Structure formats: structure tokens, C-alpha cells
């Protein structure tokens, strides 16, 4: 097996800088002396780059001497030693490891094939080349070259094994002859080389010939294994032709390198950028030759299957967190006191996150880009100084990626904002001139101003460790919440997780951007045009609560089955016509799909809750959902999208008597107390926590004893949540 020629020479044999060969050799000698002197002073991973630079000089020396020439063997031996040590300094998952493994495999194979090296060279070469072709960050054309050489190694071993055996030995049993699996692997390598079609017509012709030989040898071994061949029926002609074909292909590869038809080995000291770039951004190798004429089969070839973006995101979540919260897992990795991540994890995260953002394209979310930025930062932070001088490349890439994500972060519903803020602080701490934190601040200033205008002190995000990140609306700056968990008097929380804090008025939004939009809406007085939807299908009779609501809302339109009559049965269409209500109270079932179970019987899906008829775009009412728990989130979002300013929902189901009392306290606070919805929900929490609680006035009969300890259950206090402003 032979390899492409020296990486530093040009196709016509002249030095790339235009100087004479003698001048080139003088420069190389001086550089070699300097590198050897440096290596005497270095230890550990810091030796990696100078070792690879010295390897390149030795490789050039070997190629100038001529492959297979005894005079070049010392240079080849030392070049292999340099590569082997450098390879040992690169941990699994390092982006350079595949490059070095491929080179080392090529050179070991050269020594074994061209200089009669030991069988251990072939075994090591195969293992290293297998590692190279399995990597995703090797440029496609060099992966193709590696596969071609790998196939030659497998085929050569099988052919030489057959040549060395007598016929009687071949027939003695499978234990005495080459393994058929090696022929199968050679076939697979050649088939992939031909399918890639990257190495030009002449090399493809040679690969096709070797594929035919490998298939012939495989069939020969298959016949022997099956006992179908006898000593008189074995034809050794294919074996001899296989050897001749391999020698011819080796000659063509060497000629192709000199003529520019065969890609050269990449220059390792300059390959760091290629190793760390995304595979989709690899430079293209141009191979000279006649333009291929597509066949009918080529024209009919199906296009590649579309990338499954959801599957990529699932794979990324699984890799970083298993079945847990990926943002929590990444936040834990960012902590200065965190233990080192498992070997290969960070590089896997970089690869998967890069694949997600590329597959998503313009649809990549802020969370997608934030996760990629974190992965890049972790790789840059954890990389030791290996002599390359590019430790900060990944950190700079992380800063650029996070800045790109900044525009979409206010609309992020996934909880990526705390992770992005933590990363921005780390990046600015490493490079104060980067000002990534200022970029995030600028994107959230409009939201902060809008909320400040409606007397909200802070926008909050919960962190996985139980703390909170606060965006203070007076200056638009992010700060960590107080260690004791206390919140400002009026706070809006991004996310649906309830925060049982009796001292704060709390409401929930899906994103910071939604909070800013809702701040621009004018809430209607709940008594202006209320609508009560009461038990439209039966089974949810709350007579006492309905009587209280009729007294509190004497102008209410009543739909459904209510004592004292109603204005309609409560069908989905009737409810849709009442989306202009100042207060829409719903007492009905919620299906497992999150739809309202109304008269008909018919369901009103969240997707159908759209449109209004008489209200302006800036006016909105309040919705009070049934205490079903699980379906509140999608329904709340649907009603907010339809123009309401707020929705009272439920984090979890509660017993009907408890829910009746909570709703009675809520309505009483809204009407008689004149409270805004978020403050009325806080009043419910306080009522549940008070040992002096009393049955709300007008609720008769009381659904349960309100003086006992049962109502003080913290699960009840955090069950009712308010979405909106």
C-alpha cells in the first residue's frame, strides 16, 4: 500500500513558496533544530503541536527519498514515533484525534507494505484508520482516502494469507485460512469509496477493480467455508490478479498525487481549524479530470432524506441530561466547582448542538443556540494548553453564538434565559471587552420598560437549584434573587411553576416578550360584561357558587344549566361569540386533550379559541378556568392569544369543595375587594393560610368546614395560578 506524496510539495515538485529546493531544505533544517530544542523543554500535552510539526518535516523527507527506499526508512520510523506520541496526548473526543489517527494509520500501513514492517503495524494501522473513518470531523475527501487505504490493508492481508497456504491447509478448515470477514470489510470500504465519487475517474477505476477482486476472494472463502470446493476446483487465478491489481492501483495513486488528480494528506500543524470547524463548513477539494456524464440511474437517484430535527433535539437532551432537565444539567456543568465532565461528553454536545442549529437553519431557537454556546464554552474552558495556541477559539465562538441567540431570547419559553445570563457572565469575566452581557441587556430593555410602566418590579425565572434570576424593571439589569427567596412586591414569573410566596403578587407568562405585550393591554372591569358558563353537560353543578356569582355579577350572561334560567345551552359556538367578555367564568369539564367540554355535546379545542368582534386590540378581560389542573396551560395560552389580559388557571386538580371555596374567595376579592386578578389570587393564598379563615359571605351552603387544618395544605395554596398581567 502506498500513500499520497508529501503534503508540503506542489504538483510539479517545486516548493510552494517559489524558492529553490535547496533553500527549502535549509529552512526545514533550521526549523527541525528549533523544534527538537523546544521538545527537550516541554512535557505532556504541550508537546503535541511541535511533535506534529516535526512529523511533517520527517514525512517530507521520507517522500523525497521515495516510498519504499531504504534510505527513507529512518525518517519514516521517527515520523511514526512523533505521531504515536502526539496521538497519546489527544484524549478521546478531541477534534484533532481523528486527523492524527488517520495519518498514523496511513504511515504504519506504508511501513508494513513498503518496508516489510511487522504484522503489528498492519493491525495498528487498521484500528487507527477505523477510528478515522468513524469520525465526523474529517473532511469527506480524506475520509474517502482513508477508506481506500483501509480496504487495501484488509484485502492485502486476505490475499497474502491465501498465497502463503498450501491447498491442503486451505481445505483443513476455517481456523487455518484467512477470515472471510476481512474480505467483507474490504468490500464495504471500496463500495463506500465508489459511492462517494470524490477521488477521480482513475482512482475509481482502481477501486472498482479491487472491489471485484475482494468479491472474488470472498466468494472463494465462502465456498471453502461451505465445503463446496475441493483441491482440484480451487482457482488461484483471482488471487494472483488481486495482487497485480493492488500494485497497479498503488502506482495510480502515486501518479495521481503528482498530477493533481489525487488529494494530498492534510497538513497536520495547519489542520486544527479544519478539525474544529463544523463538517458542513469544510473546504472543498478540487480534483482535476473530465466532467462525469450522469447516467440515467444518477439522474433518477433519490434526494437525501430530510433531517429529523426533533430526533436530533431528543438525542441532544438525552446525551446531556438523560431523562432530566437539559438546562439544569448544563448549568451544573458551568459551575466553577463542578467536577470534570465525563470523557467525550463535551465534544458530543458540541457535535449534536451544531447539528441541531444547522438542521434548524433560520428556525433555530434561542435555546438551540444557547445550548451550542454553552457546549463551545465548556470545550474551550476545559481544553488544556496542547501547544496549539488556540485555547480561546471555542470561547470566542461561544460568545458569537450567544450574541446571535440574544435577539430571540426574550421570546424563549424554554427557560434558557438563566443559562444564557450565566454564560454571558462567564464570557465577560474571561474577556471584559466582549460585553456579551450588555448585548443581552439591550434585548430585554423594552420588556423592562413596559413592565415598569404597569408597576411590575421584576421579571423572574426559576433556576434548577431553587434560586431565581430577576430582571429588574427600573434599570433592565439581570440580578440574582435574594438567598432567602423573597421576591419584590409585584413580580411576573416566566414559566408555569407556581411560587407560593404570600408576600408578593405573582403572575405567570410564557416568555418575557409575552409579558411586554400584555403590559400594553388595558384590563376591563370584571363587572362590565361578565359571562358565566355553568355546567353545560351536567355533572359539575356548583349551585352555591353560581348563586354567589349572580349576586356579584348581576349583568352577567349565563350559559348552560343554571338555577334561575340561562341565556343559552353553552355550546362551543356560543362561547366563541362571548370572547369579548370582561370576565368569562367556566364551570365545565376539560378533556384529556385539554378541550373544554361544552353543550352539544361538543368540545372547544384551544386552537379554536380565536378572534373577537367588538373589543379594541388593547382591551382585554379575565378568564377563570375549571379546576382541572392538567389542561390549564394550553387553554391559558389560547385565551391570552385571543386577546384576554389574564387567565386564572390551575397547576393541579383540587377537590371540588376546596375549589368552590377558592373561587368564591377569588370572585369576592375581584368585585367587593376591587382587587386586580393577580392580587385576588394572592388573597386566595392568604385566606387558605390564615387560621382565622371564614366562609365567604353569600356562599351558602358552605361546601365544607373551613375552620379545620385541611385547607392549610400547601398544595392547595400553590394550585391556583394567574397567567398574564
Residues 68-88: tens digit of each pLDDT: 888 989 999 999 999 988 888
Residue 498 confidence (pLDDT) above 80: no
Q: What is the DSSP letter of 613?
A: S
Q: Distances in Å between the alpha carbon of 58 and those of 355, 456, 493, 526? A: 37, 69, 63, 85
Longest CA span, the chain: 109
Q: At what angle do helices 366-382 and 345-360 cross, to 10 degrees?
A: 150
Q: Is the pLDDT of residue 346 over 60?
A: yes
Range in 18-27, 224-233, 372-381, 550-559 with the lowest mean pLDDT: 224-233
Highest mean pLDDT among 252-256, 325-329, 355-359 belongs to: 325-329
pLDDT digits (tens, 9 = 90+) for 154-187: 888 777 766 554 444 444 444 444 567 888 888 9
| pLDDT (0 to 100) of residue 64 | 83
Please tell me which residue, 422 or 265, carries the higher pLDDT value: 422
What cell numbers appear for 444 in the block? Answer: 430585554
Q: Would you state the cell numbers that stand for residue 559, as one nine-digit string? A: 350559559
Q: Domain 11-138, CATH 1.10.10 — does that match?
A: no
CA gap 49, 124 in Å, rounded: 22
With b for 16 or more beta-carbon neighbours within 10 A and e for fewer, the 100-115 pattern comes to bbbbbbbbbbbbbbbb
What distance in Å separates the CA atoms of residue 567 and residue 581, rounded to the nearest whole number? 14
Using only the alpha carbons of the chain, give its radius of gyration: 36
pLDDT score recorded for residue 285: 45
Q: Does domain 521-724 have CATH number 3.30.450?
A: no
pLDDT of residue 297: 45
Mean pLDDT in residue range 659-683: 96
DSSP element (H, E) containing 584: strand 583-587
Which of 268, 276, 355, 361 has its CA nearest to residue 319? 355
SS3 assignment, position 264: coil
**For the chain, what is the mean pLDDT?**
80
User: Nearest Cα to 8, choosing from 57, 79, 48, 52?
Assistant: 57
Residue 523 burial (CB count, 10 A): 19
Q: Delimit the domains of the chain by residue range.
A: 11-138, 144-277, 309-518, 521-724
DSSP 660: H
Q: Which residue(s) pair with 490 in the sheet?
A: 505
- Ramachandran sector of residue 690 (left: φ over 0; alpha: ψ -120 to 50; beta: rest): beta
pLDDT of residue 383: 63
By CB atoms closer than 10 A (0-12, 13-18, 19+), residue 258 is middle
Nine-digit cell string for 664: 368564591
Segment 388-415 mean pLDDT: 82
pLDDT higher than threshold 70 for residue 580: yes
Would you give the end-to-end CA distance of the chain in angstroms? Answer: 74
CB-CB neighbours of 277 under 10 Å: 16
Choose among 204, 163, 164, 207: nearest CA to 187: 207
452: confidence class by pLDDT, cuts 50, 70, 90: very high
Which of 252-256, 399-403, 553-557 is predicted least confidently?
Answer: 252-256
pLDDT of res. 49: 86
pLDDT of residue 166: 46
Amino acid at each position: 500500500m502506498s500513500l499520497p506524496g508529501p503534503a508540503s510539495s506542489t504538483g510539479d515538485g517545486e516548493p510552494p513558496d517559489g524558492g529553490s529546493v535547496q533553500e527549502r531544505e535549509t529552512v526545514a533544517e533550521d526549523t527541525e533544530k528549533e523544534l527538537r530544542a523546544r521538545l527537550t523543554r516541554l512535557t505532556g500535552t504541550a508537546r503535541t503541536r511541535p511533535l506534529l510539526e516535526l512529523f511533517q518535516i520527517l514525512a517530507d523527507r521520507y517522500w523525497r527519498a521515495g516510498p519504499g527506499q531504504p534510505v527513507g526508512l529512518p525518517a519514516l520510523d521517527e515520523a511514526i514515533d512523533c505521531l504515536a506520541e502526539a496521538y497519546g496526548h489527544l484524549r478521546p473526543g478531541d477534534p484533532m484525534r481523528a486527523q492524527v489517527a488517520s495519518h498514523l494509520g496511513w504511515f504504519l500501513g506504508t511501513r508494513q507494505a513498503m518496508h516489510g514492517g511487522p504484522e503489528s503495524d498492519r493491525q495498528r494501522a487498521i484500528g487507527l484508520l477505523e477510528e478515522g473513518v468513524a469520525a465526523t470531523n474529517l473532511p469527506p475527501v480524506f475520509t474517502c482516502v482513508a477508506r481506500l487505504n483501509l480496504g487495501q490493508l484488509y484485502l492485502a492481508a486476505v490475499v497474502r494469507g491465501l498465497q502463503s497456504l498450501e491447498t491442503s491447509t486451505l481445505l483443513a478448515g476455517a481456523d487455518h485460512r484467512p477470515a472471510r470477514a476481512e474480505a467483507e470489510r474490504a468490500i464495504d470500504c471500496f463500495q463506500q469509496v465508489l459511492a462517494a465519487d470524490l477521488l477521480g475517474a482513475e482512482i475509481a477505476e482502481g477501486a472498482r477493480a479491487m472491489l471485484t477482486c475482494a468479491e472474488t476472494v470472498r466468494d472463494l472463502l465462502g465456498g471453502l467455508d461451505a465445503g463446496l470446493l475441493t483441491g482440484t476446483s480451487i482457482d488461484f487465478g483471482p488471487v494472483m490478479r488481486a495482487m497485480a491489481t493492488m500494485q497497479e492501483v498503488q502506482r495510480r495513486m502515486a501518479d495521481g498525487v503528482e498530477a493533481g488528480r489525487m488529494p494530498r494528506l492534510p497538513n497536520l500543524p495547519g489542520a486544527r481549524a479544519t478539525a474544529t470547524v463544523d463538517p458542513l463548513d469544510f473546504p472543498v477539494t478540487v480534483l482535476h479530470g473530465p466532467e462525469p456524464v450522469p447516467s440515467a440511474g444518477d439522474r433518477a437517484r433519490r434526494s437525501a432524506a430530510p433531517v429529523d430535527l426533533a430526533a436530533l433535539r431528543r438525542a441532544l437532551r438525552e446525551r446531556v441530561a438523560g431523562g432530566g432537565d437539559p438546562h439544569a444539567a448544563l448549568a451544573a456543568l458551568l459551575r466553577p466547582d463542578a467536577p470534570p465532565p465525563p470523557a467525550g461528553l463535551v465534544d458530543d454536545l458540541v457535535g449534536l448542538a451544531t447539528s441541531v442549529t444547522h438542521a434548524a437553519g433560520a428556525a433555530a431557537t434561542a435555546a438551540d443556540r444557547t445550548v451550542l454556546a454553552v457546549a463551545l464554552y465548556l470545550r474551550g474552558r476545559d481544553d488544556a494548553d496542547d501547544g496549539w495556541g488556540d485555547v480561546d477559539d471555542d470561547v470566542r465562538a461561544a460568545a458569537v453564538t450567544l450574541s446571535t441567540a440574544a435577539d430571540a431570547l426574550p421570546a424563549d419559553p424554554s427557560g434558557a434565559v438563566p443559562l444564557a445570563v450565566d454564560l454571558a457572565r462567564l464570557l465577560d469575566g474571561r474577556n471584559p471587552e466582549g460585553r456579551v452581557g450588555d448585548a443581552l441587556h439591550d434585548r430585554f430593555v423594552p420588556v423592562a420598560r413596559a413592565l415598569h410602566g404597569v408597576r411590575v418590579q421584576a421579571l423572574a425565572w426559576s433556576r434548577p437549584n431553587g434560586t431565581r434570576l430577576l430582571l429588574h424593571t427600573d434599570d433592565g439589569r439581570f440580578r440574582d434573587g435574594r438567598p432567602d427567596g423573597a421576591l419584590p412586591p409585584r413580580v411576573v414569573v416566566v414559566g408555569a411553576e407556581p411560587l407560593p410566596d404570600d408576600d408578593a403578587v405573582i403572575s405567570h407568562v410564557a416568555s418575557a416578550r409575552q409579558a411586554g405585550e400584555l403590559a400594553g393591554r388595558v384590563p376591563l372591569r370584571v363587572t362590565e360584561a361578565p359571562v358565566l358558563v355553568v355546567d353545560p353537560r351536567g355533572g359539575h353543578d356548583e349551585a352555591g357558587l353560581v348563586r354567589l356569582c349572580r349576586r356579584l355579577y348581576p349583568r352577567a350572561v349565563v350559559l348552560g344549566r343554571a338555577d334561575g334560567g340561562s341565556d343559552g345551552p353553552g355550546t362551543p359556538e356560543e362561547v366563541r361569540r362571548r370572547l369579548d367578555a370582561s370576565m368569562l367564568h367556566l364551570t365545565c369539564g376539560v378533556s384529556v386533550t385539554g378541550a373544554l367540554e361544552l353543550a352539544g355535546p361538543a368540545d372547544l379545542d384551544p386552537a379554536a379559541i380565536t378572534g373577537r368582534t367588538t373589543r379594541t386590540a388593547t382591551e382585554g378581560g379575565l378568564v377563570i378556568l375549571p379546576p382541572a389542573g392538567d389542561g390549564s396551560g394550553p387553554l391559558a395560552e389560547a385565551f391570552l392569544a385571543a386577546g384576554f389580559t389574564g387567565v386564572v388557571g390551575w397547576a393541579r386538580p383540587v377537590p371540588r369543595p376546596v375549589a368552590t371555596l377558592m373561587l368564591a374567595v377569588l370572585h369576592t376579592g375581584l368585585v367587593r375587594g376591587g382587587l386586580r386578578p393577580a392580587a385576588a389570587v394572592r388573597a386566595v393564598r392568604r385566606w387558605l393560610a390564615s387560621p382565622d379563615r371564614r366562609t365567604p359571605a353569600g356562599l351558602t351552603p358552605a361546601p365544607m368546614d373551613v375552620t379545620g387544618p385541611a385547607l392549610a395544605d400547601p398544595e392547595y395554596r400553590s394550585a391556583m395560578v394567574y397567567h398574564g398581567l
